[in-house]
Amino acid sequence: MLQNNFSKVIRSDINLLVTLYFLLENRQVSRTAKQLYIGQSAVSHQLNRLREMFDDQLLVRTAAGMMLTPFAEQIYPTLGNVVADLEVLLKKKNKNLHPHPHPIKDIYRICVPEDTYIEDVSVLFYDFAHDENIRDNVTFEVFNRYDSCISDLNEGKIDFFFGSSDNLSGAICSSKLIETEFCLAVRADHPLANKTVQLADIVKYPWIDILFREKANSYANEHWGEAINNMRCVLKTSSANAAITLLSHSDAICSLSDDIINKRGLAQVKTKNKIKITNYLYWHKIMGDDAFHRYIREGLISRYVSENINARK
């Protein structure tokens, strides 16, 4: 039941509470501005308004960085619940007015570029199916690249294919997702960790080669081949997870995407050459008559791009 002083809520800018949540979470104006897609000056202005609204400094600068005031510490959990509830509310839709198309088959097969992405993509598909109330109608089969995956895609045996490849037939359709930067990766305490080096500096270290990366490996050879060709390859594997495990237990070097490097607590070896690859979602044109495939494809593309952009901030 609404309280008598609800007029305060009506007169207030509720967007300010969203800004406040991210400010308290990040303790940083610049990062909050990036997440909200607005300028730092706008966030600073909103912080001043919030300080007036609550009659509290909320964030104060200390030698250790920006810190929450006792009052901000008190309201932070409540703000988190408010933002989460808003997100759930905005996702809701009347399923009876907008029913989803019925799937034409029981299983849809999804191929991801490397096993490091299987968990994220599996959760992405599951959450989408849950939110759209379709999880009882279909099974998603998620797996990573293998010897004949390109052939299977070209023959229509794979329904969703994430990655980047040039060896595709004219029957394959695509939609652009995100751009990935590949870097030389090492364990966090490696002698070259976070250092800017010349290619000659990496030759004495072992190399790990990850298979089934047509474009990434081609670019790696183009930019780092002078060194790679003179390094001792200690492992060839289709599993990026296996490569990461060996990186963590050796002085080896491997090419990995920047998001995986950050996510797994690894470090970059910085060179003047950087590899940027555009990732796509591919599917066979025989799926053109599958309205259910199109329905989840369009929804997943926007969700995948949004989640990956936010994860990189």
- Which is more confident, 53 or 102? 53
Contact 173, 283 (CB under 8 A): yes
Contact 203, 211 (CB under 8 A): no
Contact 32, 313 (CB under 8 A): no
Contact 117, 162 (CB under 8 A): yes
Delimit the domains of the chain by residue range. 4-90, 107-177+279-311, 179-277
How would residue 77 be classed by pLDDT, with cut points 50, 70 and 90? confident
Q: Kindly report, residue by residue over 140-157, the tens digit of the pLDDT.
A: 999 999 999 999 999 999
Q: Residue 100's pLDDT is what?
A: 66
Q: Kindly report, residue by residue over 186-195, the tens digit of the pLDDT.
A: 999 999 999 9
Q: At residue 21, does pLDDT exceed 80?
A: yes
Q: Residue 284's pLDDT is what?
A: 95
Pick the CATH number of 179-277 from 3.40.190.290, 3.40.190.10, 3.40.50.300, 3.40.309.10: 3.40.190.290
Q: Residue 5's pLDDT is what?
A: 53
d(CA 26, CA 252): 34
Measured from the Cβ of residue 33, the count of other Cβ atoms closer than 10 Å reads 21
Pick the CATH number of 4-90 from 3.40.50.2300, 3.30.465.10, 1.10.10.10, 3.30.70.520: 1.10.10.10
Residue 134 Cα distances to 88, 102, 140, 292, angstroms = 17, 9, 11, 10
DSSP string, the chain: ---GGGHHHHHS-THHHHHHHHHHHH--HHHHHHHHTS-HHHHHHHHHHHHHHHTS--EEEETTEEEE-HHHHHHHHHHHHHHHHHHHHHH---TTTSPPPPPSSSEEEEEESSGGGHHHHHHHHHHHHHHTT-TTT-EEEEEE--TTHHHHHHTT--SEEEE--S---TTEEEEEEEEEEEEEEE-TT-TTTT-B--GGGTTTS-EEEESS-HHHHHHHHHHHHHHHTTSPEEEEES-HHHHHHHHHTSS-EEEEEHHHHHHTT-EEEB-S--EEEEEEEEEEGGGGG-HHHHHHHHHHHHHHHHHHHHHT-
Q: Residue 124's pLDDT is what?
A: 83
Q: State the Cα angle at 138 between 122 and 161, rounded to 5°.
A: 45
Rounded to the nearest 5°, which phi and psi values hold at 234? Answer: -100, -10
How would residue 43 be classed by pLDDT, with cut points 50, 70 and 90? confident
Contact 243, 208 (CB under 8 A): yes
d(CA 16, CA 267): 37
The CATH H-level superfamily of 107-177+279-311 is: Periplasmic binding protein-like II (3.40.190.10)
Q: Kindly report, residue by residue over 270-293, the tens digit of the pLDDT.
A: 998 778 888 899 999 999 888 888
Q: Residue 78's pLDDT is what?
A: 84
Q: Please indicate whether the domains covering 4-90 and 179-277 agree at the CATH topology level.
A: no
Selection from 257, 256, 259 nearest residue 310 by Cα: 259
